[in-house]
């Protein structure tokens, strides 16, 4: 059957029974019939019909209860499970030039219709966004940060090559304010702050972003402790980065030491300086975690509702080497050949080396931290860092949800982390993130229940996005053509 375009007005709908509430007539494009709804908040509801039109859900009711004046296209959902379309809340679309725009259809084919790009040069991400807009429903909507806003020296300044230039450097509060203004004018949806920022510059950045209505997500700057970063007003944190330093019973000493290292290393290469600080401090920090101190940090994160995107698939990959599993490795085939060869070579090489105990400690710490954060009510988002860490665009989001369940989230909560939470991060929860009347009609039909087993989010049968219905055949075509 392939792709079906459904955004045409075919009729007017009315409420047949009281279960359906409609305040005004809506145009109707498609009726998904007799499906089990899996909602991130309400959970499971069986035997439902869902009418969609004009990009939103027009009506929801028991099977057979929604009537329309004229026939609309229908999709049989019998025996299937409907979830809101997914987000990957941490991607880098411009990180690997050899992947280029091949990532875009891979997201859609995996049920992801929105992504948050957490760092790339403005000129480059704007080009990707243009391509995505041209491709319409065959690409996700992109919410971008533009460059990482770093201090001086910058970590990602293009040297060495594995640290591509995806950052901008702010060495004064005025620099930070100017950069935020530029990004706001260019249409950025958020600001990403990085590790080498000095406290006064960081505070100016966050304050200006608030004035411009842009949420800031951060790595905790090495010059600051977690609580100072939280009280500055950040909306999010990535990778749990540097929370481990804050949970150490030596945290004050470590902070003073790294402030000195930052001063002394001001003329070094940024990536080298950061690596040397991490190498010096992380083993000490992870060997001196203090439960009481950590509880205080976590409580502060919970009180301020600082969204965490822990990137667990990334944080655990050194220990768990998921990239050696067939189901993680098989998707490499959808990447351009040069990338596939490079990733295969890396995976093969890694398979022959012993696992560094530090990786195991970091993986265990990350899983335990997510469990505690979640229990304390800190909002958790599913994000991958793709294409970093051999994490294939699209496919890797499903692994991330699995890892979140491994850390203690229920499957329903893991689903929320990839749907409702990213919507909340951007203040879009009235428009999307759950399956409700008036919300986005970007939806994914599965052949197995993700509440039984989170891996079932991989059983994608159909993706409905922006006026297009992709059946399995059409999704496979997206995968096959991605690398071209």
Task: Provide, rounded to whole angstroms, the least separation between the CB of residue 170 and Zn ion.
Answer: 18
For Zn ion, which is the closer residue by CB, 222 or 469?
Answer: 222
Stretch that binds Zn ion, among 117-125, 265-273, 321-329, 402-410 (CB under 5 A): 117-125
Give whole-number Cα distances, 171 to 174, 186, 257, in Å: 8, 21, 21
Tokens of 160: 């060495």
Asked if 195 interacts with Zn ion (CB under 5 A), we say no
User: Which region, judged by CB under 5 A, interacts with Zn ion, from 27-35, 118-126, 173-181, 229-237?
Assistant: 118-126
252 vs 229: CA distance, rounded Å = 15
Q: Which stretch binds Zn ion (CB under 5 A): 187-195, 256-264, 373-381, 384-392?
A: 384-392
The total of other beta-carbon atoms located within 10 Å of residue 240's CB is 21
Candidate segments 3-11, 68-76, 113-121, 476-484, binder of Zn ion by CB under 5 A: 113-121
Shortest Cβ distance from residue 390 to Zn ion (Å)?
Answer: 14
Asked whether the beta carbons of 78 and 33 are under 8 A apart, the reply is yes
Of 155, 154, 133, 153, nearest to 144 by C-alpha is 133
| C-beta of 217 vs 322, nearer to Zn ion | 217
> In the complex with Zn ion, which residue's Cβ is closer, 39 or 385?
385
Is-contact 99 387, C-beta < 8 A?
yes
Question: Residue 91's closest CA among 112, 131, 119?
Answer: 119
Phi-psi region of 55 (alpha: psi -120 to 50; beta: other; left: phi over 0): left
Q: Give least dist CB 166 to Zn ion, A.
A: 9
Half-sphere exposure of 279 (CA within 13 A, CB side): 6
Q: Is 4 exposed, middle or buried (0-12, 13-18, 19+ CB in 10 A)?
A: middle
CB of 191 to Zn ion, least distance (A): 14
Binding residue count for Zn ion, defined by CB under 5 A = 2
Selected range binding Zn ion among 110-118, 210-218, 267-275, 354-362, rule: CB under 5 A:
110-118
**Nearest distance from C-beta of residue 74 to Zn ion, angstroms:** 41
Which residue lies nearer to Zn ion by CB, 81 or 156? 156
Q: Smaller CB distance to Zn ion: residue 88 or 385?
A: 385
Secondary structure string (H, E, C) spanning 132-180 = HHHHHHHCCEEEECCCEEECCCCCCCCCCCCCCCCEEECCCHHHHHHHH
Q: Which is nearer to Zn ion, 84 or 422 (CB)?
A: 422
Q: Is 385 among the residues that bind Zn ion (CB under 5 A)?
A: yes
Closer to Zn ion at the Cβ: 59 or 237? Answer: 237
Shortest distance (Å) from residue 84 CB to Zn ion = 24
- The residue among 118 and 193 lying less far from Zn ion, judged by its C-beta, is 118
State the minimum distance, in angstroms, from the CB of residue 119 to Zn ion: 6
227: phi then psi, degrees, rounded to nearest 5: -65, -35
User: Smallest gap, in angstroms, from Cβ of residue 275 to Zn ion?
Assistant: 16
Give whichever of 116 and 466 is closer to Zn ion, judged by the CB atom.
116
- CB count within 10 Å of CB 24 equals 5
DSSP string for residues in 333-361: GGS-HHHHHHHHHHHHHHHTSPPPHHHHH
Contact string 338-357 vs Zn ion (x = CB under 5 A): --------------------
Closest to Zn ion by CB, 118 or 462: 118
Stretch that binds Zn ion, among 114-122, 214-222, 223-231, 247-255 (CB under 5 A): 114-122
Tell me which long-range contacts 208-212 makes (C-beta under 8 A, separation of at least 24): 208/176, 208/177, 208/180, 208/181, 209/180, 212/180, 212/181, 212/184
Give min distance, CB of 383 to Zn ion, in A: 8
Query: Helices H, strands E: what count in the chain?
Result: 17, 20
Show contacts with Zn ion in window 120-159 (CB under 5 A): none
Rounded Cα distance between 216 and 230, Å, is 11
Site stretch for Zn ion (CB under 5 A), options 111-119, 289-297, 327-335, 354-362: 111-119
Closest distance of CB 241 from Zn ion, Å: 9
DSSP letter for 331, please. G
Return the structure tokens found at 300. Answer: 């502060």
| Cβ closest to Zn ion, residue 53 vs residue 387 | 387
CB 395 within 8 A of CB 331: yes
- Using rule CB under 5 A, residue 400 touches Zn ion: no
Residue nearest to Zn ion (CB): 385
Strands 43-53 vs 56-62: parallel, antiparallel or unpaired: antiparallel
Q: Which residues bind Zn ion (CB under 5 A)?
A: 118, 385
């Amino acid at each position: 059957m392939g792709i079906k375009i459904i955004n045409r007005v075919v009729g007017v709908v009315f409420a047949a029974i009281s279960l359906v509430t409609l305040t005004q007539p809506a145009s109707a494009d498609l009726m998904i019939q007799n499906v089990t709804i899996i909602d991130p908040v309400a959970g499971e509801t069986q035997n439902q019909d869902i009418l969609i039109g004009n990009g939103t859900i027009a009506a929801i009711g028991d099977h057979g209860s929604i009537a329309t004046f004229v026939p609309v296209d229908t999709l049989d959902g019998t025996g299937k499970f409907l979830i809101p379309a997914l987000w990957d809340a941490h991607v880098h679309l411009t990180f690997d030039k050899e992947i280029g725009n091949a990532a875009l259809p891979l997201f859609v084919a995996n049920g992801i219709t929105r992504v948050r790009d957490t760092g790339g040069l403005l000129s480059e991400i704007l080009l990707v966004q243009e391509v995505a807009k041209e491709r319409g429903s065959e690409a996700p909507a992109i919410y971008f940060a533009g460059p990482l806003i770093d201090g001086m020296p910058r970590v990602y300044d293009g040297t060495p090559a594995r640290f591509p230039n995806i950052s901008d450097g702010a060495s004064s509060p005025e620099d930070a304010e100017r950069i935020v203004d530029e990004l706001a004018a260019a249409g950025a949806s958020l600001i990403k702050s990085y590790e080498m920022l000095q406290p006064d510059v960081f505070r100016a950045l966050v304050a200006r972003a608030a004035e411009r209505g842009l949420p800031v997500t951060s790595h905790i700057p090495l010059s600051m402790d977690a609580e100072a970063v939280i009280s500055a007003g950040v909306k999010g944190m990535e990778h749990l980065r540097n929370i481990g330093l804050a949970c150490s019973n030596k945290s004050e000493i470590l902070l003073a030491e790294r402030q000195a290292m930052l001063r002394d290393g001001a003329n070094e290469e940024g990536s080298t300086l950061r690596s040397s600080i991490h190498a010096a401090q992380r083993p000490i920090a992870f060997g001196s975690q203090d439960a009481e101190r950590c509880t205080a940090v976590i409580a502060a994160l919970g009180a301020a509702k600082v969204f965490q995107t822990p990137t667990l698939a990334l944080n655990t990959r050194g220990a768990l080497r998921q990239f050696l599993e067939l189901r993680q490795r098989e998707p490499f085939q959808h990447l351009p050949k040069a990338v596939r060869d490079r990733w295969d070579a890396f995976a093969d090489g890694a398979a022959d080396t012993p696992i560094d105990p530090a990786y195991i400690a970091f993986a265990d710490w990350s899983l335990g931290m997510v469990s505690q954060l979640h229990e304390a009510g800190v909002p958790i988002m599913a994000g991958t860092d793709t294409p970093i860490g051999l994490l294939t665009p699209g496919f890797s989001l499903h692994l991330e949800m699995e890892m979140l369940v491994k850390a203690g989230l229920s499957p329903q909560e893991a689903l929320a982390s990839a749907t409702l939470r990213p919507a909340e991060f951007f203040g879009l929860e009235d428009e999307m993130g759950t399956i409700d009347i008036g919300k986005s009609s970007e939806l994914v039909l599965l052949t197995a229940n993700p509440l039984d087993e989170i891996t079932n989010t991989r059983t994608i049968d159909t993706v409905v996005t922006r006026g297009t219905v992709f059946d399995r055949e059409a999704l496979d075509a997206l995968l096959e053509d991605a690398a071209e």
